[in-house]
Chains A and B, each alone.
Chain A
Amino acid sequence: MARMTMREAISQALWEEMERDERVFIQGEEVGVWGGTYAVTKGFYDHFGEKRVRDTPIAETAIIGSAIGAALTGLRPVAELMTINFAFVAMDHIVNEAAKLHYMFAGQFKLPLVIRATSGGGRQLAATHSQTPDAIFAHFPGLKVVSPGTPADAKGLLKSAIRSDDPVLFIENATLYQTRGEVPEGVDVLEPLGKSKVQREGDAVTIVAYSKMVQAALQAADMLAEDGIEAEVVDLRSLRPLDMDPVIESFKRTNRAVVAEEGWRSYGIGAEVSARIYELAFDYVDAPVKRVAQAEVPLPYNAELEQLALPQTEDIYRAAKEVVNG
C-alpha cells in the first residue's frame, strides 16, 4: 500500500501498462513534450519516446478517429481529450464509431481503446470548459463508461480499461487529481469494470455517488454521523454498465436514498439510479429518492456564482437529513 494522489495513481497505472504491453500507447494534445496539462504524463515522453507518446494537433476527430483506426490494427491506444468538453467535437467517433463498429460488423472489428477525459467544473473556466456530460455518453450501448472517485479505484480501473477489449471512456475529475488515498501496489492489481463499491457502511440512508461526489458524500457522511445518522456511501464507479446490486442491497436496509452527481439533474445519472430503485425495490421505499445535482444553468465564471450552482457537501448532508426525517 502506498499513499498517493489520484494524479499519481493514474500516472502509475499508465506507466505500468505501457511497460507491460508494447501495444499500449498514448496520444493527445500536449501529452508528450508538455507532460500533460494535468501533469499526468510527465516524464513519459522522455522514457517511452515519441512513437508511444504522441503529441497531436488540436484535432479531436483525428485524435479519436485515428485511435480507433490504430485499435483496429491490434494496438491498444489510450487517447486523451484534454477535457471532456472537447469530446463534442469528436462526438461522432465516440458514439457512432467506437460504440458501434464491433456490432455493425458482427464482431469483426475489435476496439481495445481507452479515451481519457477530464470532467467537472469549479475552477472558473466558464461554461464551455466546465461541464459534466457523463450521462450523455453513458446513454450509448457499445461504450463502457467509468469514472473513479478514489485514487485506488483510479489506478485499478484504468488498468482494467486498458486491458479491456472494449472501448472505454475513462472520466477523471480535475479537482480530484490532488486528493490522496491508499493505493495497493502491484502491476496486476485491478478493479473490475461494471462494478459499484460500498465506500462507507451505514444503516440509516444510502448515498449513491461517483467521481467527485464520492468525496463530497464521504464528508457529508461524517457530518451526518455527528447527528447520529450513519450513512452508507455506494460508489457507482461505472456508469455503463451500471451495477445496481450494492445500491439495492443497501437500500433494502436503509429504505432511503440520496443520489449525488456533479452534472445537471435533468436526464442525469440520478434519474437513472432512482428509476431503477423504484423498479427493483418499490416495496422498500420509505421516502422518495432525493437527487443532488448541479443547478441547471451554464456554469458562470464568477467564483461565488459558480459554487452556488455546483453541488456541495452541505447539499448532500441536508438532503440526507431530509430524506431520513421525511
Chain B
Amino acid sequence: MEKQEYLDLYREMVVIRRLEERAAELYQQGKIGGFLHLYIGQEAVCAGIGSVRQPQDRIITAYRDHGWAISAGMDPKVVMAELLGKKDGCSMGKGGSMHMADTSLNFWGGHAIVGAHIPIATGLALGDHYQENDDAITICMFGDGATNIGFFHEGLNLSKVWNLPVLWVCENNQYGMGTAVERASAVSEIRQKAEGYGMPNDRIDGMDVMNVREQVARVMEEIRNGGGPHLLEIMTYRYRGHSMGDPERYRNKEEVKKWEDEDPIGVFRKYLVKEGVASDEVLDEQDDLAEKIIEEAVEFAEASPNPGKDLLFEHIYAEETSIEYRGYRLENESEEN
C-alpha cells in the first residue's frame, strides 16, 4: 500500500468510530429514533474487508451496518441524514439505521430480520453465477447469533450445493444480543458449522486491520478461482451494548476493558508508528479530519428536510400502481379537494 492508502484506511476507521459515537449522542438527545446498533470496536473488520474488495464484489450485511456503509464508500453525510430520518438520507429517511444501502456501490444493505439476508446473499451470488460475472464475489456479513437460525442453514447449504461464489463472514463479537455464543450455539467455534456443509472455513483475529486484509484477500482469491463458498469467522468485540438501551447485564466491565486494550484503532496506530509509515502527529491530524468530516455530516443531516407526505406513498411498487388506502385523514382530505 502507498502511505496515503494507509492514512485513508486509518482515517476511515476513525470516521466510523466518530460516526458511531456521535450517533449515540444524537440518539440520547432523541434525534435518532428506533434502534441503533453501534459498530464501535469492530472497525477493523469492515475497513479491512472493504479495502480489499473489488468493485464487482457485492456487500450485504445485517443491521449493525453503519461501518459497512462507510467502508462500502458511502458519504457520512448521507448516512447521518438517514439516521436522522431526513430526505437526503440514502433511503430518503424511510429505512433508518438498519437500512443503509447504495446499490451503485454494490452495497446491498442493511437488513433488520436476523439472518434473513443470508439466503438473499445466496441469490446475489446466484445472479452473478447465472450472468457469468465470474469475477464477482458476494460478501455476506452476519453475527454469531444469526448462525443458529434456519435462514443460515438453508442459505449456506444452497450456496455449497450450487457452488456459488460467496464469502460468508461471521463477525463473532461473542454475543448474540445478550446471549453469549456458548449459550446459544451447539459448537463453540462458529466456523465448525461450515464443516456440516463441507465448506472450507477459517477463524481469524478481527482486531488487527492488517491481519484482516491479508486473510480476507487470501480467501477471496480462492473463491475467485472457483473454490466455492467459504466461511470466515472473524473474532471481534463490540464495546457498547447490542443497541442503545442495552443494560449489558450479560457481561462485566473487566471483560470489556480487556478488549478495549485491543482497540483496533489503537492497534493500527501503534503499527503505523512502529513501521514508520506515519507519526503520531500525522495521525492526530487524521483524527481531526475525521472529527471535521463527522461534524459536517451532522450539520448536513440536521439541515436536510424531512421527507414529505408524498414520499410516504412512493416506492411501494416499481410500477405505477394505485394506493389502496391512504389512511383515514388523507382519504378524507383528498375527498374535500
Q: Do chains A and B touch in the complex (CB under 8 A)?
A: yes
Are B316's CB and A70's CB within 8 A?
no
Are A165's CB and B124's CB within 8 A?
no
Are B317's CB and A144's CB within 8 A?
yes
Interface assignment of A159: CB less than 8 Å from any CB of chain B? no
**How many chain B residues touch A (Cβ–Cβ < 8 Å)?**
48
* Whole-angstrom CA separation of A142 from B317 in the bound complex: 6
Interface assignment of B266: CB less than 8 Å from any CB of chain A? no
Residues of B within 8 A of A60 (CB): 154
Output the least CB separation between A159 and chain B (Å): 15
* Whole-angstrom CA separation of A101 from B131 in the bound complex: 22
Interface assignment of A299: CB less than 8 Å from any CB of chain B? no
Residues of B within 8 A of A97 (CB): 111, 113, 116, 120
Residues of A within 8 A of B94 (CB): 103-106
Are A108's CB and B103's CB within 8 A?
yes
Output the least CB separation between B297 and chain A (Å): 19
Restricting to B94-132, which residues have a CB under 8 Å from any CB of A?
94-95, 99, 101-103, 108-111, 113, 116, 118-128, 130-131
Partner of B127 from A69, A166, A194 at Cβ < 8 Å? A69
Interface assignment of A157: CB less than 8 Å from any CB of chain B? no
* Whole-angstrom CA separation of A29 from B316 in the bound complex: 30
Are B324's CB and A73's CB within 8 A?
no
**How many chain A residues touch B (Cβ–Cβ < 8 Å)?**
47
Residues of A within 8 A of B121 (CB): 69
Restricting to A6-40, which residues have a CB under 8 Å from any CB of B?
25
- The residue among B90, B120, B123, B322 with the most chain A CB atoms within 10 A of its own CB is B123
Output the least CB separation between A146 and chain B (Å): 13
Q: Which residues of A contact B (CB under 8 A)?
A: 25, 51, 54, 56-57, 59-62, 64-75, 92-93, 96-97, 101-112, 141-142, 144, 164-166, 194, 240-242
* Whole-angstrom CA separation of A105 from B315 in the bound complex: 9
Are A165's CB and B122's CB within 8 A?
no
Output the least CB separation between B130 and chain A (Å): 6
Are A61's CB and B150's CB within 8 A?
yes
Are A65's CB and B131's CB within 8 A?
no
Partner of A57 from B95, B102, B127, B158 at Cβ < 8 Å? B158
Are B316's CB and A51's CB within 8 A?
no
Closest residue of chain B to A272 (Cβ to Cβ) is: B324
Output the least CB separation between A83 and chain B (Å): 18
